[in-house]
A = this chain, B = another copy of it.
Amino acid sequence: MNLKQLSDRLGLSQTTVSRALNGYPEVSEATRERVLKAAQQTGYKPNKAAQRLATGKAKSIGLVMQSAPEIGGDPHFSEFLSGLAEEAVKHDFHFVMAPASPDDELNAIKRLIASGYVDAIFLAHVVDPDPRVALLRSSSIPYLLHGRIMGDTHDYPYLDVDNEGAFYTAAKLLLQFGHKRFALLNGMERFTFAMRRKIGLEKALGEAGLTLSPDLVHHSVMGDQAGFRAMERFLARPERPTAVLCASTALALGAVRAINKAGLKLGTDISLIAHDDVLTTLRPENFSVPLTTTRSSLKAAGARIGQRLIAGLDGTGDMPEQELWEAELIVRASTGPAPM
């Protein structure tokens, strides 16, 4: 069923039907009702591609999804997506996901923009320098980053968590407890969120006259396996760390296992703080020793990004261009005084 058929059936012109459907004032209430009812009955749904072609708007936001094996089943990604989705569904938006191999991401974005399929583009996993950001900047399509590039230039729209501040605060707490030897289980080094977390930690240590030993820093995907392995290595060192910062609860899961296996007691022999993205499947409060965390909901970030993007497109937008969310420090049992 298309517009023509529907209007023929109603004995009206396509114009009138289209206007009735889209809420234009030039059509009488009686007619509008008749049209609406007929559309309902016949199950008429406008063809999006045609609509898109005619209006230039598509109520859709695009995202390229890196389909690297390492990033594939990332629960962080899906958690974020679910927030985005929740917001999208409210406004009848959908997303177009263009999967791309990592080396082809730039082209994927170009294709996505040129395709005319999307009204706006969202980007995550920011690195530095990030050619994708440069591309978006020079294109005319609205976009929004989850994360920031490094440096203090704020001439692009983003939503980010204050990762530096989060780990700075976390480190401060551990320093107060008298810890001196810190380890860091971080995400992939190329991502700016990981860089900033490291910087936050180093800053706090620096203020206490300490430095972060490169041997006690680990960068990897944020899975429990990586956490376990890295932690085992850390614990095997002659001077093992007494305080650990983890970039995710998944890493922490592995780390805790290594700690248990080594016969150490979490919160006593060794303190740990993890960043908590509030993943539905892995809650820090449910660890055998509940985890102290810096918390910031990924899902909420997704929802907020959806909101901003959509509002921007609707022209409703009077949104801040940049947003920096503070993470909450939630103290639980995994942190305690440094052992003597």
Kindly state whether residue A151 has any CB partner on chain B within 8 Å. Answer: no
**CA–CA, A89 and B85, complex, Å:** 22
Assuming the contacts A116-B49, A286-B254, asked whether A281 and B99 have C-beta atoms less than 8 A apart, the reply is no
**CA–CA, A69 and B286, complex, Å:** 19
**CA–CA, A298 and B73, complex, Å:** 9
Assuming the contacts A78-B77, A111-B45, A225-B286, asked whether A72 and B299 have C-beta atoms less than 8 A apart, the reply is yes
The answer to whether A85 and B99 have CB atoms under 8 Å apart is yes
Shortest Cβ distance from A254 into B: residue: B286
- CB-defined contacts of A117 to chain B, threshold 8 Å: 48-49, 94, 117
Main secondary structure on A side of the interface with B: helix
In-complex Cβ contact of A94 among B58, B97, B260 (8 A): B97
A235-269 contacts to B, CB under 8 A, are 250, 253-254, 257, 260-261
- CB-defined contacts of A85 to chain B, threshold 8 Å: 65, 67, 72, 97, 99
The answer to whether A75 and B72 have CB atoms under 8 Å apart is no
The answer to whether A223 and B67 have CB atoms under 8 Å apart is no
Binary contact track A78-110/B, C-beta < 8 Å → 1, others 0: 111111011011000011111111001000001
Assuming the contacts A98-B94, A281-B250, asked whether A81 and B82 have C-beta atoms less than 8 A apart, the reply is no
- CB-defined contacts of A96 to chain B, threshold 8 Å: 60, 94-97
**CA–CA, A253 and B280, complex, Å:** 13
Assuming the contacts A43-B110, A94-B96, A96-B96, asked whether A48 and B115 have C-beta atoms less than 8 A apart, the reply is yes
The answer to whether B75 and A114 have CB atoms under 8 Å apart is no
In-complex Cβ contact of A47 among B71, B73, B75, B114 (8 A): B114
The answer to whether A286 and B228 have CB atoms under 8 Å apart is yes
Kindly state whether residue A283 has any CB partner on chain B within 8 Å. Answer: yes
In-complex Cβ contact of A288 among B67, B72, B260 (8 A): B260
Binary contact track A29-53/B, C-beta < 8 Å → 1, others 0: 0000000000000011111111011
**CA–CA, A261 and B80, complex, Å:** 32
**CA–CA, A112 and B59, complex, Å:** 13
A67 to chain B, nearest CB (A): 4
Shortest Cβ distance from A112 into B: residue: B94
A153-169 contacts to B, CB under 8 A, are none
A108 to chain B, nearest CB (A): 8
- CB-defined contacts of A80 to chain B, threshold 8 Å: 73
- CB-defined contacts of A52 to chain B, threshold 8 Å: 49
Interface residues of A (CB under 8 A from B): 43-50, 52-53, 58, 60, 65, 67, 69-75, 77-83, 85-86, 88-89, 94-101, 104, 110-112, 114-117, 221-225, 228, 250, 253-254, 257, 260-261, 279-283, 286-288, 298-299
